[in-house]
Amino acid sequence: MLESLKPSQTTLNKRRLLNFLIFFESILLVLLTVVAVQVRHIGEDLAFKNDLKEYILLISFPIIWLCCLSLFGAWDMTIIDNHIDGYQRLLKSSLMTFLVFSSASYLFKIQISRFVILFSLIGGTILHLFLRWFFLSAIDKKLRSPEKVDSWLVISKDLKESPVVQEFGNRNFAKIKYFTFAKTEQDFTKWISEVTAEIHLSKISKVLLATVSEFTPVEIEQLMWSIQQNGAEFLAYDNLGLAASQSPSKHIEGFTWASFGTPQISDSLRVVKRLFDLLLVAPAIVVLAPLCLLIAILIKIESRGKLLYTQERIGQDGTLFKFPKFRSMRPGSDAQRLEILGRPDESMTDRYKADPRITRVGRILRRFSLDELPQLWCVLIGSMSLVGPRPILPEEAPQMGDFHFRRQIAKPGLTGIWQVSGRKDTTWEERMAFDIKYVQQWSIALDLILIFRTFRTVLSGKGSY
């Protein structure tokens, strides 16, 4: 189950290469601003005044540009396959940076050297374009070398080669295999299992559906979800006429193929989300340090045992990570979990409320969610986010439905829609629905709303046992 949640090796390679681009472009922006400020004294009218507001705005310049690059999707994984789109997004980001920076300078009456602006923005854009061209060209050579050739699976009515498919595959240096439609007398679910088995056996990175006319919309959705769950990309040819179940689609340049990706936080927006987490969690750790010390003392006074209770939980893409809490139960309580709580069902809430393993200090910590404070460290190191789906236990994974794997696309969070919507007072299916909704609708605004709602929920203690 956990293996099926992990992205394909091709996807991991692309993401790793994209991280290098994000790193080098971020360094480039900072260096450009520093260099521009250092040579600002050219010409008497370009003299730089010792003004705090000017320093703040200049320091903000690379941050504004980085945010614009992220918001316009200039670091999305799609730019690896569609270079022109990557250049267009970069130019749009540069234009928006100029508008935001100029507007801020005008509104706050800050006199910034025109040389600094032109050198950083125009020079930065040109250097960016060159760096991106060099990077994408290098990626093409790396990903399309003989040892890195993609394997594609084409689902067609017969096993005849399609000129359209061959042209598309040749352009991407892909090795193509064909797979026939399900026979009328064959069970459709069994046929999907055969498709997913072929994906694993042949290490398929893309599955192409040659026509949609032989399937019902429901069957196409089931096929699409199964393919995505097994780490491959799903594409269909022309004249779709189906809703695609809220999945984002993109048309491949020069071809009438549409790609349907799982709902996800794009790679560009992940950068914004990570910066958002760091800006909030770093000061929070400092401010809450005295409270954490007090909690540690109270735990040690009441009972013997470790200060922190650590579990393995399922994180992003199905990977396991260490999940710490302040200990709120007697030592050795893990062995009694199934005996006392059992599997999640309709009466789970009542068993949580009467759990005899919880200590007196532990009930207070749980009542106000203070036992979760050590997870701020997980946010700092990147295994969790401030807002996201709550991580589940490995033994709970078998209860996940066919499409619940989508919740694992995002990093697990300290809080989220489930946490402010009843927590343990909700059913398992409601929890899964809340998590999938978060992944599909994520935005910084949504994160801020959920953080503010979390404070109210924590004070009320609703759903905390």
422: pLDDT strictly greater than 90? no
> Which pLDDT score, from 0 to 100, does residue 444 have?
78
Average predicted confidence (pLDDT) for the chain: 76
**Hey, which of 138-142, 240-244, 306-310 has the most confident mean pLDDT?**
306-310
- Which positions ≥6 away from 123 have C-beta within 8 Å? 32, 36
Pull the structure tokens for residue 401: 């439905």
Domains and CATH numbers, the chain: 3-143 (no CATH), 149-260 (3.40.50.2300), 267-460 (no CATH)
Rounded-to-integer distance, Cα 245 and Cα 235, Å:
14
pTM (2 decimals)?
0.60
Q: What is the mean pLDDT of residues 24-34?
A: 78
Query: pLDDT grade, residue 335 (50/70/90)?
Result: low
Q: How many Cα atoms within 13 Å fall on the side-chain side of residue 289?
A: 5
Whole-number percent of the chain with pLDDT over 70: 73
pLDDT at 43 over 70: no
Determine the pLDDT at residue 398.
79
Q: Which of 131-140, 254-263, 419-428 has the lowest mean pLDDT?
A: 254-263
The fraction of the chain above a pLDDT of 90, given in percent, is: 11
Q: What does the DSSP 8-state code read for residue 160?
A: P
Q: Model confidence at 47, in pLDDT bands (50, 70, 90)?
A: very low
Question: Looking at residue 242, what is its pLDDT?
Answer: 40
Instruction: Judge whether residue 441 has pLDDT over 60.
Output: yes
Q: How confident is the model at residue 386 (pLDDT cuts 50, 70, 90)?
A: very high
232 within 8 A of 179, measured Cβ to Cβ: no
- CA of 380: how far to CAs of 58, 337, 414, 453, in Å? 27, 30, 12, 22
